Amino acid sequence: MTDAMSRVDRHTSLPIDMLLAGEVQGLLFPKSSPVCRWCCIGVENRMAAVLGGDFFDFIPLEDGCQTVLIGDVTGHGLHASIVMSLVYGYLHRAVQGVCDPYATVTDLNCFLRSFAKRTARYDHFFSSTLFFGVIHPETLTMRYVSAGHPAGLVRREESLIKLPTTGHPLGYFDQPELEVKVFKFEPGDRMLLYTDGLVDCLSPSGEVFGTVRLEELVMQHNGDHTGFLNDLFSSFQDHLDRQSAVDDCTAIVVDFHNLGT
């Protein structure tokens, strides 16, 4: 998992207050993936600058369920990091107790709209995509809302299943069309969630990394979740060919297995 210091080390020429802000932002994110009997979770987060707008977390709930969330606020850099911190803090408070994905996401939309209505000039900054899933370990059933976020991918043996968007990005509409979907995992499944900075990055010649390349990597890799993330971001860096990424990139991998194994 990429930490705050590794991001800061790449930008040592920036003012000290900016570097400190990057360290503080990094402290918001979990320092390690949750240890579960029923799955293995890995994550890689790479900000284009010392501050960014991607966010993710894995929050255990009081009823034994596990949240998995990933999102991307509009823009990147300092202003995006401010809105990201608002979203991140709101979600942490909202999921205390038993969590309802629909209520949590719609309430977050109202929260963002309350800020957007204060300014016509900057209202679009108070917006975000979000994949918010709640997984029941006993049944491996996930209830999720995907608000304008890139479709998650599930590899099941030799098949690839897409988890489509279930509504609009948050912060644009007072009453966005949002829907809760239910997905039943099977032991051996691999789920990949990611932000669009991964697939939208361009090579020096202008070629996009793309979802087709990403899907091929998901289907071809037979190692564990850590090896997959290593190979994925190695391919990503090869595509950039020593260029710097211009957008934040985050990927979460969840490998499911039998409870207790």
CB atoms within 10 A of CB 106: 18
pTM summary value: 0.92
Query: In what helix (H) or strand (E) does residue 199 lie, and over which residues does it extend?
Result: helix 196-200
Indicate whether 261 belongs to any domain: no
Q: How far apart are CA 143 and CA 134, in angstroms?
A: 5
pLDDT at residue 106 is higher than 80 = yes
Predicted confidence (pLDDT) per residue in 191-214, tens digit: 999 999 999 999 999 999 999 999
Give me the mean pLDDT over the 46-54 stretch: 90
As for how many domains the chain has, the answer is 1
Supply the range of the domain harboring residue 98.
Answer: 4-256
Q: Say how many CA atoms lie within 13 Å of 87 toward its Cβ.
A: 34
Q: How far is Cα 243 from Cα 240, in angstroms, rounded to an integer?
A: 5
Indicate which CATH number applies to the domain containing 107: 3.60.40.10
What does the pLDDT read at residue 32?
A: 84
Asked if the structure places residue 148 within a domain, the reply is: yes
Asked if residue 232 is part of any domain, the answer here is: yes
